[in-house]
Amino acid sequence: MVKHPFVTKDQLVEIAEHYPTPFHLYDEAGIRRNVEAVLDAFSWNPGFKEYFAVKANPNPRLISILAEYGCGVDCSSATELMIAETLGMRGHDIMFSSNDTPAEDFRLARELDAIVNFDDITHIEFFEQVAGHIPKTVSCRFNPGGLFQLANGIMDNPGDSKYGMTREQLGEAFSMLAARGAEVFGIHAFLASNTVTNEYYPSLARILFELARDLARERGVHIGFINLSGGVGIPYRSDQQPNDIAQIGEGVRRAFEDILVPAGMGDVAIFCEMGRFMMGPYGCLVTRAIHEKHIYKEYIGVDANACDLIRPAMYDAYHHITVMGQAGGPDKSAWEPSRTYDIVGNLCENNDKFAHDRALPEIERGDLLVIHDTGAHGYSMGYNYNGRLRHAEVLLRADDTCELIRRAETPRDYFATLDITDLGRDLIARGSNIA
């Protein structure tokens, strides 16, 4: 599979004239097509709901697109809950899945009547102490321990994960919650990250469906929903096959018919909290080549850095790069690779690299580069090391017009939290002059 940007060179040159590089660019038309495909794949389940993982991309403008289709949000902090509230979401439009949860986070979740997804059995009493009575609808997170395997090998190691409860704790938690007034129960599990296989969700579903059937019998509780969480991945590499969401939905349906329907549990709703699959391919980081260096290797320095996309530095993750060229020059996106480069940013860290020894067309200073698949865990993981400022986010609307959905940070933003001191106020004033 050849990776193509969702934007043409001419479009990108025009956009870059209005919004200085670097910036994250998002594809509204692609986001809409994808959410429609997800809803269609699970349309066999009347209660299906996608709770978009806000941690993947917390831009309210993008979340509002998903909300148009009835999607909820999965929040993990008080700040993410505030985003949901500002978008008009309350109650069962919010799943609150957190861990090592501060008291104020639980209090806000209770105030918004969100579905609380308890990560640990000890959090039940803590929640009561800090947030009040237990809601009627609750969820608990399950960790089966050991290794999680599919036919094609080991996928992940839940036994080394800090998340979730054991099988025994889960049953005890349900009894504790029922005694405190809970009436509708959900089960959640996340056993593998970024799986590029159609078998992950159906395999996870079978584990959780059997668990739900057994717990309903053992504890006498009503299981209202099963949350398959995230983990459905995207093909970062051009030689990977993308997941087929229709096939995934059908695999979950078969498991549902095999396990839950015979148990008289055909009314159970299926929830997901996909972030990467919903948004990842529909964002890219647009950056410009500003320097070249020729020492023991060939380096191209761009105006973005790991503050804009930390995944390559943190995980040695691969992100495909397309060289687009520049105004008035040839379209390099169709060229065959002819040079080998490291594509680097300007942080004082040697891991600030978007690509190692990458075969690419020859790059000249001024060329626009598209770094693919940054729509999830791109901007959201940004930071300010070296005093570098985070950059803008732009939405390419379905009608091919553009909308600035987050402005670039300024020095004033960086210094704003220092306003308690005279020196801080001086720096803010200086930052305002620069901006």
At 316, the amino acid letter reads: D
In this structure, the chain runs to a length of 435
User: For 156, which DSSP code?
Assistant: E
Report the pLDDT value the prediction gives residue 431, as an integer from 0 to 100. Answer: 61
Omega cis (within 30) before 281:
no
Note down pLDDT in tens along the chain; length 435 residues: 679 999 999 999 999 999 999 999 999 999 999 999 999 999 999 999 999 999 999 999 999 999 999 999 999 999 999 999 999 999 999 999 999 999 999 999 999 999 999 999 999 999 999 999 999 999 999 998 766 666 565 456 776 788 999 999 999 999 999 999 999 999 999 888 899 999 999 999 999 999 999 999 999 999 999 999 999 999 999 999 999 999 999 999 999 999 999 999 999 999 999 999 999 999 999 999 999 999 999 999 999 999 999 999 999 999 999 999 999 999 999 999 999 999 999 999 999 999 999 999 999 999 999 999 999 999 999 999 999 999 999 999 999 999 999 999 999 999 888 876 666 666 557 566 655
Report the pLDDT value the prediction gives residue 293, as an integer from 0 to 100. Answer: 97
Q: What distance in Å separates the CA atoms of residue 277 and residue 429, rounded to the nearest whole number?
A: 42
Q: 291-313, pLDDT tens digit by residue?
A: 999 999 999 999 999 999 999 99
Q: What distance in Å separates the CA atoms of residue 160 and residue 433, rounded to the nearest whole number?
A: 50
pTM value is 0.94
Q: What distance in Å separates the CA atoms of residue 130 and residue 203, rounded to the nearest whole number?
A: 37
Report the pLDDT value the prediction gives residue 160, as an integer from 0 to 100. Answer: 79
CA distances 363 to 17, 352, 374, 413, Å, are: 20, 19, 21, 33
Domains 28-278 and 281-418 share a fold: no
Cα 303 off chain centre by: 24
SS (H, E, C) 391-409: CEEEEECCCCCEEEEECCC
Buried b (16+ CB within 10 A) or exposed e, 70-107: ebbbbbbbbebbebbbeeebeeebbbbbbeebeeebbe
Spell out the domain ranges in the chain: 28-278, 281-418
Q: What distance in Å separates the CA atoms of residue 13 and residue 20, rounded to the nearest whole number?
A: 10
Match domain 28-278 to its CATH number in 3.20.20.70, 3.20.20.10, 3.40.50.300, 3.10.350.10.
3.20.20.10
Tokens of 53: 């993982």
Q: What distance in Å separates the CA atoms of residue 278 and residue 66, rounded to the nearest whole number?
A: 9
Report the pLDDT value the prediction gives residue 416, as an integer from 0 to 100. Answer: 87
Report the pLDDT value the prediction gives residue 401, as an integer from 0 to 100. Answer: 97
| CB-CB neighbours of 285 under 10 Å | 26
Match domain 281-418 to its CATH number in 3.20.20.140, 2.40.37.10, 3.30.930.10, 3.40.50.10490.
2.40.37.10
